[in-house]
Amino acid sequence: MTNAASGVPGAQRPPGPISLNRYEVEPAGLGFQTFLKLPVCLTPEDLRAGRIDVAICGAPWDGTAITRSGAHLGPQAIRSCDYHPTPPLERPHLHVGVDPLEHLRVCDCGDANIVIGDTEQTFANIRSFVADIAATGAVPIILGGDHGVTWPNVTGIADVLGFGKIGVVHFDAHADTAPDVQGVLASHGTPMRRLIESGAVKGKNFVQVGLRGYWPGPDIRSWMEQQGMRTHFMAEIQRHGFDAVLERAISEALDDADQLFISVDIDVVDPSAAPGTGSPEPGGLTSHEILRAIRRLAAEVGIVGMDVVEVSPPYDAGNNITCLLAHRCVLEGLTGIAMRRLGITEPDYLEERAANGPPPQPLSSNGAGLAAAAEDDQLMRRS
Ligand SMILES: [Mn+2]
């Protein structure tokens, strides 16, 4: 996030978050499209001065996608999926009664420095970009980008918190554990292999949810089992229900590592709700299942980072439903982080009014009210 050259961001001003709003109130779509039109932080000093809790940022890279491309356009497309005027900066979650922006200081850090065509340099840049954010104590939420970026994303956090200390819950249709792709180590099919082989994440601290389809074969699956990875296929979800599998994933995530990173490949969701992605696989989660899962993990386990990847706007349906879902995945992560700060960590917490409908109307008082209204009506007619 820092440059040695002249023109260092922040060199000519006091550090702190910068609002980019030109006008006092700007409708969504007007002006600079930061996430939720949040203020911007360009340097670690800005993050520290603003005592930022969560930093949204992007890794607009699709150079390691081996299927359909376009994920480099994900971060800006996701940022533009908001429709509330700002200020006021508020997003009260109707199901849990918590407004994350009331309890968290959140900013947009812009994007990691991408060098088109140079995977090695780009991944080094993403890793240090994420580490710089994590080192300030802020939780990075990274918008992808193809899934290759999860290797530097998680490694950057491990650089700060320690190798082998982080658990990963990985939502995906695909295992992403190939040893290489045509001899190439950095790919969107290999990041989970790289994280385990490098020691950034222990195999048994990897929990995967939503796998399906026709890959990988027995060799890779047996490697995954040897590492102790906990993999939950869609078949398990179909047989036992999503909530039961999510409970298992939560207890596995809490098993050893106490620091959790969530990696959301949007293709874990069925292509009917998330068509704009590189490797769509029919038969996936619903949108409300992924949203609830992210919120629950952030609230009940706690997260030190998250990414939402593989959103490819050129393949999205005309109403941007995939980008919209990715945007809401971030809002659920923010809500869960705020819930945990408030001590709301009970399993599947929902606000009473939202979960159980309107309070019942006592029949007697209702009847009395009607009778009184009828009496008023009679008086009106007589006068
Ligand atoms: Mn995938």
- Tens digit of each residue's pLDDT (9 = 90 or more) over 132-171: 999 999 999 999 999 999 999 999 999 999 999 999 999 9
- The greatest distance separating any two alpha carbons of the chain, rounded to the nearest whole angstrom, comes to 93
pTM of the model: 0.92
5-9, 28-32, 103-107: which has the minimum mean pLDDT? 5-9
* Domain residue limits, the chain: 35-366
Distance 328 CA to ligand 1 centre (A): 19
| CA-based nearest residue to 52, from 31, 27, 28, 35 | 35
Rounded distance from Cα 258 to ligand 1 centre (Å): 25
> 67 CA to middle of ligand 1, Å?
10
At 360 the pLDDT is: 86
CA 160 / ligand 1 centre spacing (Å)? 27
Q: CA dist 278 to 152, 180, 341, Å? A: 20, 18, 35
| Segment of 163-167, 266-270, 316-320 carrying the highest mean pLDDT | 266-270
SS3 382: helix
Nearest CA to 41 out of 19, 23, 25 is that of 19
Whether residue 4 is predicted with pLDDT greater than 80 in this model: the reply is: no
Give long-range contacts, CB 8 A cutoff, 24+ apart: 222-225: 223/177, 223/179, 223/193, 224/175, 224/177
How much distance in Å is there from the Cα of 14 to the middle of ligand 1?
42
Rounded to whole angstroms, what are the CA distances from 207 to 172, 257, 299?
11, 11, 17
Distance 56 CA to ligand 1 centre (A): 22
CATH class name, domain 35-366: alpha beta
Residues in the chain: 383
Residues 311, 78 contacting (CB under 8 angstroms): yes
How many angstroms does the Cα of residue 73 sit away from the middle of ligand 1? Answer: 17
264 alpha carbon to ligand 1 midpoint, in Å?
9
Token match 């911007």: residue? Answer: 40
Q: How far, in Å, CA of 233 to CA of 160, rounded?
A: 32
